[in-house]
Structure 1
Amino acid sequence: MNVEIPHMEQSLPQIRQLDAAAANRIAAGEVVERPASAVKELVENALDAGASRIDIAYADGGKRLIRVTDDGCGIPGNQMELALSRHATSKIDGHDLTHILTFGFRGEALPSLGAVGRLTLKSRARGSGEAHELTVRGGESHGLRPTALARGTVVELEGLFSATPARLKFMRTDRAEAQAINDVVRRLAMAAPDVAFSLTDMTNPGAVKSVLSLNAETGDLFDGLRGRLRGIMGPEFVENAIRIEAEREGLRLSGFAALPTYSRGAAVSQYFFVNGRPVRDKQLFGALRAAYGDVLSRDRHPVAALFVDCDPEIVDVNVHPAKAEVRFREPGLVRGLVVGTIKQSLAESGHRSSTTASAGMLGAFRSAQRPVQPMERTTPRISQSVYSSPEPAPEMLGGTAWSGRVEPDDAPDMAGDVDVVERPVHEGLPLGVARAQIHENYVVAQTEDGMVLVDQHAAHERLVYERLKAQYAKNGIASQMLLIPDIVELDDAARARLLDAQEDLADLGLVFETFGGNALCLRETPAILGEVDGNDLLRGIADALAEGTDRAGLAARIDAVLSSMACHGSVRSGRRMSGQEMNALLREMEATPLSGTCNHGRPTFVELKLADIEKLFGRR
């Protein structure tokens, strides 16, 4: 039996204007993602108001309470209601959206916050004899009234997302939200080193106020920034950072970048600011990574706080509702400035290494202290062979050997005879003078105010790498013919990678040809490497080519190959060095860019100051 279903006319959807409360809640979803977003908007408003001090307080990770107090210019009483309406702002006039000189300009922060929580606004305009207060509940403002306030503005937000309880389900724990607030305030405090900040967690009674930093005392921009970074990123960062400053075609880069030996296992300590605005820009992060590509292994990340300043018309800060991303008119110019400046600054840092190595070394000494069992007295002697290896080959160290001499009988009368080197003047020698080699790998040198311990393989690896790069850039790398070619068996993938790069590798002094099956015949190697194991060399270069496939361009692949060559051509662990060789190594390190780290980002030496040595023995 057929049943006829009556036709029902479907009604057309009606277009309607959303009321102000709904529009504000939608806007809040874009602008206020979590309590930290609310703090960001309010602190940015305070900075735009010219505040010299900003105090932030929160409770329950900002979900129960957020209060931001500033001493800025304030809001006149007759404009406070307007300030709480959408798209009302004092930051721009609406005609030119490319010339943005302030943090906030959308005019959505205050009405959005009032739509999702209970907002109270107190303000006293500069020069005004009275202050006013206005409250917003459920998106509706309630009566302007006089209040007591010495100066500036206080914005208090209670019950964030109480008007949209579904959003609370997506909030993280109080601790996680508090950490996000802390991160936001840290970034904004870095952007304004001349403004004093305080941050207070009011959840626990008697919570201690954390003052992030005080104003700079000297008035110098870099002094102020250094002081602010010391308070936020810690004294170790400042002690291990180099100053960055450069300008090119209307772009200015400034700030501080850490030495390669002061790195992190994750990219959590990288801060960028564009015209004073904290940003998380993939292009800038990528440029920073590229700048350290020659001195850091792939599992380590640089630490930096960098500021890009430019004409606001060549950068779009209106890409994202939260203004966390930017778009440059000429991104290649910005990338080149970041990469080139940092590379040059790292090179100019020379042999300098991370000071934290000394702290770690000191800790290792302390942790190793334990009672020593009595031993039968013997007559120890440090082997004279420490300094008795053959004279270095000309290509070994390339520098002028130190002219000191071995004086076996110059030691004082001790338990046994000890070979020592004549004590020269230390002035002008940052890495000091070699005193011994221990475990056939570490050079011990005495400096004017302490000692250094050098990893001979890591140090020479960097020196050979820099020489290879310099030769290649100048006129190519000279090769040497092998008397007996090396026949190297490889797997299919490694052989294919080497053959694909055969022409480029020939320019690097590495000449080979096919030899049937999966074998290659190695005929020439870079002369600077001296005698090398051809099998290990080709396999290492094949691995370097594989690693370089996801790096930018041929230059990066060549650097990877040169780094691999340097590793195979450097002084190996277990090789005994003469006094002349050790001192020549130290002198060349002092004259070579980036010699404080090996090609993989590890320190080539650690330094222990005399004061630290005295601490070890209880003298301090």
Structure 2
Amino acid sequence: MAKIHRLDSRLANQIAAGEVVERPASVLKELLENALDAGARQISVDVEQGGTKLIRVRDDGSGIDQDDLPLALSRHATSKIRGLEDLEAIGTLGFRGEALAAISSVSRLSLASNSGDQAEGWQVTVEGRDMAPSVAPTAHPRGCTVTMRDLFFNTPARRRFLRTEKTEFNHLEEVFRRVALSEFQTGFRLSHNQKVIHQLPPGDDDTLRAARVARLCGRAFMDQALTVDIEHAGLRLHGWMGLPTFSRSQADLQYFYVNGRVIRDKVVSHAVRQAYADVLYHGRHPAYVLFFEVDPALVDVNVHPTKHEVRFREQRMVHDFLFRSLHRAIAEVRPGEGQHGEGRPGDAAPAMEEGPAPSQGHMALGTPASGAPGVSEGPRRSFGGGYGGAFSGGTIADGARQAGAYGQMVSATPAPGGDPEASHTPPLGYAVAQLHGIFIVAENEHGMVLVDMHAAHERITYERLKRDWAEEKVRSQPLLVPVSMAVSSREADFAEQQPQVFQRLGFMVERAGPETLVVREVPALLRNADSETLVRDVLSDLLAHGSSERIEQQLDALLSSMACHGSVRANRRLTVPEMNALLRDMEATERSGQCNHGRPTWTQMSVKELDRLFMRGQ
């Protein structure tokens, strides 16, 4: 075996660069983070040939003193941490002190700076095999300019792995977008091959923040996004989350920041996915720009070389907070006063990537569950007798039987219709007609509302069944023939030590041997399901995550199927009072903007759009 020897500085830095510098976008990420840590309020980025030829980042931050410049390009040299206590509560984006050294080992790098206390600036470069720093005076205002040229010029093997200029610039622009979304009080400029791509002014008020998000994520996203700001027990979540009807075929519009750092985390992804699970169209992905603030001591950012991943010390608490916050925000979305955005006919289908779905982007958030704002007691009483009478309480079994009552309902006394021009017109207005036995045409203050009656009633029935089921809790049913199943000794030990976990989910599981369990009771609604597979999945979840949503998912799927079969069908002719009752129930029902399968239930066309169709006023 060869003798052990110490690597020279350049080779050691090039090895480190393999973890830090993957492509030009990686270089830009490190340089932007350094600029923000220096307190920059204006950052300018110039790029040539997708970043392979040139990346120059200028900032007006605190700068670097002349004496510290040689250290700036050395490995493990940083001003951001001094001891272990700093590492345990990191409040900066960078902290390892490896980025500049790694970049300089695989490119031609120069750093010019002026801390503001000096009459002139200074520039440092590294040369030779040992990467000795060389400092020289230069004209430079307060701040820093880092110039990187000819990435991987001395490592041709790695240069061959770079993609086309367009591809590399797309990656680089995505990094720029992520950083620009995290610091609204800082202005950013990006140019590529002497052409300005982005010019983002600084500003931390709501209008400028929304304008930047719209510029970077698209106006369609902002038109179909909810504003979220929730704080509890030292945790805060704020930002924008797209409506379920504004979904994407890819997870390409998802930005999540922890204390200003963009991250990818399994706990976060799972919480967001669960929050959208009941309303998202199959195979689609939600869109969001969310900021999560937590005590730095409760999150470890030193778990990955690129700092894209973090580890929360209280994962369960974080997961529950994120899930409950987002789930509640989605549940509160319903037609409300102030919803007057222009609808886009034909864009309602979730498959439309760029155009917004139904114009629900201005829905009121936080309306009380008892009824939608703006609905007067008169119309509510008038329309509540016929349609609403079919669901007046009862057990979940009664609710399941009554789910089809709507189809046989006949209104003996037509309820009086409201005046569409009244000052208290409900958000969805008043029914005018039924179209092809499928759609309800209604009129509100802003124009015409079109409702898919089956999809809307399906969501209303589903939410009622879920509420009834939750109030009665999980009821168990004994199996006529208990199911015996072979498991590992670890799984058998857990089931024996934690029987209350299974009981809360509606199961009775007993240990019958060292590696054998017997299932004697199952949830009543899931009596026809595969009990053995369900118990195995629950055991796996409990051992891996400490909790399981398998039962809830199975129950939701069953209740959804019951709601679908029990909802009013197409070609069922409804009276005007029945149609109005359906509209009022939509206004009072959580998640009424989507059916159980994630499809939109209604859309709005404004008077302006109707005028445009017939060229009125032109």
Normalised by the size of structure 2, how large is the TM-score?
0.77
Aligned equivalents of 1:149, 1:567: Cα separation in 2: 69
Asked whether the 8 Å contact 1:161–1:168 carries over to 2, the reply is: yes
- Give the match for residue 19 of structure 1: 8
CA offsets per residue over residues 122-156 of structure 1, 9 Å max, x none? 11113332111122345624532221222211111
Unaligned segments of structure 2, at least 5 residues = 350-384, 392-404, 476-517, 542-547
Other-structure match for 2:224 = 240
2:81 match: 92
The residue that corresponds to 2:196 in the other structure is 208
Instruction: Indicate the residue corresponding to 1:126 in structure 2.
Output: 116
Provide, for residues 286-312 of structure 1, a one-character-per-residue CA deviation record: whole Å limited to 9, x for no partner. Answer: 111011011113311111111121111
Q: CA deviation at 1:511?
A: 8.3
Unaligned runs of 5+ in 1: 1-11, 365-389, 407-420, 479-499, 513-537
Pick from 254, 264, 272 the counterpart of residue 270 of structure 1: 254
Paired residue for 2:58? 69
The CA distance in 2 between the partners of 1:41 and 1:454, in whole Å, is 50
Distance 2:431 2:612 in 1: 23
Judging changes above 3 Å, is the alpha-carbon distance between structure 1 residues 138 and 439 closer, same or farther for their aligned structure 2 residues? farther
- 1:74-96 Cα distance to aligned partner (Å, 9 max, x none): 11122111111111111111332
Equivalent residue, structure 2, for 1:607: 604
Change (3 A) 1:246 1:475: same
d(CA) in 1 for partners of 2:260 and 2:419?
Answer: 55
- Contact (CA 8 Å) 2:123, 2:136: kept in 1 or not? yes
> Whole-Å Cα distance in 2 between the matches of residues 248 and 310 of structure 1?
10
Question: Structure 1 residues 442 and 300, CA, compared in 2 at 3 Å: closer, same or farther?
Answer: same
For 2:101 and 2:570, the matched residues in 1 are separated by 67
**How far apart in 2 are the matches of 1:504 and 1:428?**
48
Q: What is the distance in 1 between the residues matched to 2:89 and 2:198?
A: 35
1:126, 1:151 within 8 Å by CA — same for their partners in 2? yes
Q: Are 2:278 and 1:294 aligned?
A: yes
Residue 90 of structure 1 aligns to a residue in which SS? coil
1:545–1:223 Cα change, 3 Å: farther
Task: Provide the residue aligned with 1:157 in structure 2.
Answer: 148
Distance 1:397 1:19 in 2: 80
Q: Distance in 2 between matches of 1:85 and 1:208?
A: 33
The number of equivalent residue pairs is 514
Q: CA contact under 8 A between 1:245 and 1:341: conserved in structure 2?
A: no
Conservation of the 8 A alpha-carbon contact between 1:42 and 1:68: yes
Residue by residue over 1:49-70, the C-alpha shift from the partner in whole angstroms, topping out at 9 and shown as x without a partner, is 1011111121111111111111
Structure 2 letter corresponding to 1:567: C
- The SS at the match of 2:592 is coil
The answer to whether the 8 A contact 1:404-1:580 is kept is yes
Partners of 1:41 and 1:604 lie apart in 2 by 45
Greater C-alpha radius of gyration: 1
The aligned runs of 1:529-548 (5 Å cut-off) are none
Q: Deviations over 1:496-550 (max 9, x none)?
A: xxxx9996563x5x988xxxxxxxxxxxxxxxxxxxxxxxxx99xxxx9999999
- String of CA shifts for 1:352-393, please: whole Å, max 9, x gaps: 7999992243899xxxxxxxxxxxxxxxxxxxxxxxxx9757
Please name the residue that 2:358 is paired with.
none
| 1:361 corresponds to which of 322, 346, 361 | 346
For 1:60, give the aligned amino acid.
Answer: Q
Indicate conservation of the 8 Å contact 1:351/1:593, yes or no.
no
Q: Kindly indicate whether residue 99 of structure 2 is the aligned counterpart of residue 103 of structure 1.
A: no
CA–CA separation in structure 2 for the residues paired with 1:264 and 1:340: 23
The equivalent residue for 2:444 is 447
Q: Residues of 2 paired with 1:337 and 1:320: CA distance? A: 24
Are the equivalent residues in 2 in contact too, given 1:461–1:570 (CA < 8 A)?
yes
Is the contact between residue 24 and residue 151 of structure 2 (CA under 8 Å) also seen in structure 1?
A: yes
Residue of structure 1 in register with 2:20 after alignment: 31
Q: Does 1:344 align with 2:331?
A: no
Say if 1:25 and 1:112, in contact at 8 Å, map to a contact too.
yes
The alpha carbon displacement at 1:397 in A equals 6.1
Q: Superposition RMSD on alpha carbons, in Å?
A: 3.4
Query: Is the counterpart of residue 317 in structure 1 residue 307 in structure 2?
Result: no
C-alpha contact 1:240 1:354 (8 A) present in aligned 2: no
Q: Which residue number corresponds to residue 184 of structure 1?
A: 175
Once residues 82 and 133 of structure 2 are traced to their aligned partners in structure 1, the CA distance between those partners, rounded to angstroms, is 27
Alignment partner of 1:560 is 2:578: no
- Counterpart for residue 198 of structure 1: 189
Given candidates 467, 471, 483, the residue that maps to 1:470 is: 467
Equivalent position amino acid for 2:45 in 1? I
Structure-2 separation of matches of 1:182 and 1:433: 48
2:51 corresponds to 1:51: no
Shift of 1:226: 2.4
Q: Counterpart of 2:478?
A: none
Residues 141 and 154 from structure 1, CA distance in 2 versus in 1: closer, same or farther, beyond 3 angstroms?
farther
Q: Which residue of structure 2 aligns with residue 305 of structure 1?
A: 289
Q: What are the within-5 Å matches in structure 2 for residues 389-404 of structure 1?
A: 394-395=390-391, 396=405, 404=415
Counterpart-to-counterpart distance in 2, 1:138 and 1:208? 35
Deviates more, 1:579-588 or 1:306-315: 306-315
Matched to 1:14, the amino acid is: K
One-letter identity of the residue aligned with 2:390: P
Match of 1:84, as an amino acid? L
Amino acid across the alignment from 2:99: A
Q: TM-score, normalised by structure 1?
A: 0.76
